[in-house]
Amino acid sequence: MNDDLIQYLLRLGDSALIQGQRLCEWCGNAPALEEELALMNVGLDLIGQARNWLEYAAQLLDDGRTADDLAFGRDERAFRNLLLVEQPNGDYAVTMTKQFLYDAWHLDVLQQLCGSSDERIAGIAAKALKEVTYHLRRSSEWVQRLGDGTEESHKRMLAAIEQVWRFTVELSAGDEIEQRLAEAGIGADHNKVAQAWLAQVSQTLTLATLPVPTAAKHFYLSGRKGLHTEHLGFILAEMQYLPRTYPNATW
């Protein structure tokens, strides 16, 4: 169970970390100053959540590594983040589509984890839930605004959904680790998460006058198993450059 819990914590932490890193790439490039501030705030929220999950994972690993070591010292095959969050930002339609699909899943997971029998998980989830509630409200509003906006914004949203939808297979399917932790009362029930996620996504896309795609099929890669797309390596090369170049450096 300890090994399962470590893997679970890495999944939560790595997904929040990589999504936060992606959002921070918009710094200086956002379409408006207000949006830049909002994106940076969401990104920093996620990086803070990642630190909480990775600190717990490091404690359980008990091999001398810290949360920073886990973030900046692992290669891509050791990362357990969702494939969705490592995909490129694209235009603003792609970014908001990715954020919304992740937020809808993230909120459902955190809501269940607030009742975890593991007090530390429940505490981290309760704090993160307040932030992610806002994240979902914001991203769902953008999906509706762009989907039911101009002809151009509607066309871009259709293209964005087509581009990233295949990576949602991990949001609606669990594995043995998640099942064991759910049965132990520690982790979220992936079946309940999948149902709630699909309901939220379907409602929002309908309001946005966008079609609801059929359920994503099995994908040959799996972030849970460390089998990532080529994009993660480029993210890590930038994110980990300084700590790898100057190990043990302090400010």
Domain boundaries, the chain: 2-214+222-245
Q: Give me the tens of pLDDT residue by residue for the chain, a chain 251 residues long.
A: 799 999 999 999 999 999 999 999 988 887 888 888 999 999 999 999 999 999 999 999 999 999 999 999 999 999 999 999 999 999 999 999 999 999 999 999 999 999 999 999 999 999 999 999 999 999 999 999 999 999 999 999 999 999 999 999 999 888 999 999 999 999 999 999 999 999 999 999 999 999 999 887 778 899 999 999 999 999 999 999 999 999 887 77
pLDDT computed for residue 26 by the predictor: 87
Give the CA distances from residue 21 to residues 14, 15, 45, 107, 175, in Å, rounded to whole numbers and listed in that order: 10, 10, 11, 19, 26
This prediction has a pTM of: 0.95
Annotate the chain with DSSP letters as a single string.
Answer: -HHHHHHHHHHHHHHHHHHHHHHHTTTTTSSSHHHHHHHHHHHHHHHHHHHHHHHHHHHHH-SS--HHHHHHS--GGG----TGGGS---SHHHHHHHHHHHHHHHHHHHHHHTT-SSHHHHHHHHHHHHHHHHHHHHHHHHHHHHHTS-HHHHHHHHHHHHHHGGGGHHHH---HHHHHHHHTTSS--HHHHHHHHHHHHHHHHHHTT---PPPP---S-BGGGTB--THHHHHHHHHTHHHHHSTT---
pLDDT computed for residue 71 by the predictor: 97
pLDDT computed for residue 145 by the predictor: 96
**CATH topology for 2-214+222-245?**
Ferritin (1.20.1260)
